[in-house]
């Protein structure tokens, strides 16, 4: 397979198939400095780039992230109540009746390892008024930041 930037779904599928073939073609592990190892590394980078461009994954809803982590760690609401300020408060948060506070976000990140991005980015209620947003976007450095692929325009 000729390695090049993947531009179509077919090229992506071919690259994935080639990686699969390389992985399963040998009983021994592929050495990273061998021709097969280098080809697999290059194809993996190309596949990753294609997936980032075509299959973006949004951060989960903060409540779903908390529930997922609790499930992973086999925790009950009563187990995490100290992070929320009590059993009533944890129930209210997990049922969407109370928003996460900054303190809760920090504690969930510190003690459960939930990424800050998962706890913050899903909050769709926090918005900037249109006139203030426009004023901010007139500032060149902020405008450049938002024109990049890492920021979401809200």
Full pLDDT tens readout for the chain, 154 residues: 677 888 899 999 999 998 898 888 877 777 878 888 888 899 999 999 988 888 877 767 899 999 999 999 999 999 999 999 999 999 999 998 999 999 999 999 999 999 988 888 656 666 778 888 888 888 888 878 777 645 554 4
Q: Where are the domains of the chain?
A: 9-54, 62-123
The pair of three-digit structure tokens given for residue 118, joined into one six-digit string: 């998962």
The pLDDT assigned to 68 comes to 93
Q: Spelled out in words, what is the top-level CATH class assigned to the domain 62-123? A: mainly alpha
Alpha helices in 25-127 (DSSP H): 35-54, 62-72, 77-84, 87-94, 102-112, 116-120
Is the pTM above the cut of 0.75?
no
Specify the pLDDT at position 154: 47
């Amino acid at each position: 397979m000729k390695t090049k930037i993947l531009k179509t779904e077919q090229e992506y599928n071919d690259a994935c198939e080639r990686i699969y073939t390389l992985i399963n073609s040998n009983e021994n592990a592929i050495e990273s400095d061998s021709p097969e190892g280098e080809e697999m590394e290059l194809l993996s980078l190309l596949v990753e780039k294609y997936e980032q461009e075509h299959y973006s994954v949004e951060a989960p809803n903060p409540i779903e992230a908390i529930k997922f982590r609790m499930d992973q760690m086999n925790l009950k609401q009563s187990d995490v109540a100290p992070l929320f300020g009590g059993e009533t408060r944890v129930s209210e948060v997990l049922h969407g009746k109370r928003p996460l506070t900054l303190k809760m976000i920090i504690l969930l990140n510190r003690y459960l390892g939930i990424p800050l991005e998962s706890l913050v980015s899903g909050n769709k209620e926090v918005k900037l008024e249109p006139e203030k947003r426009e004023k901010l976007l007139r500032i060149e450095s902020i405008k450049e930041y938002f024109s990049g692929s890492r920021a979401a325009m809200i």
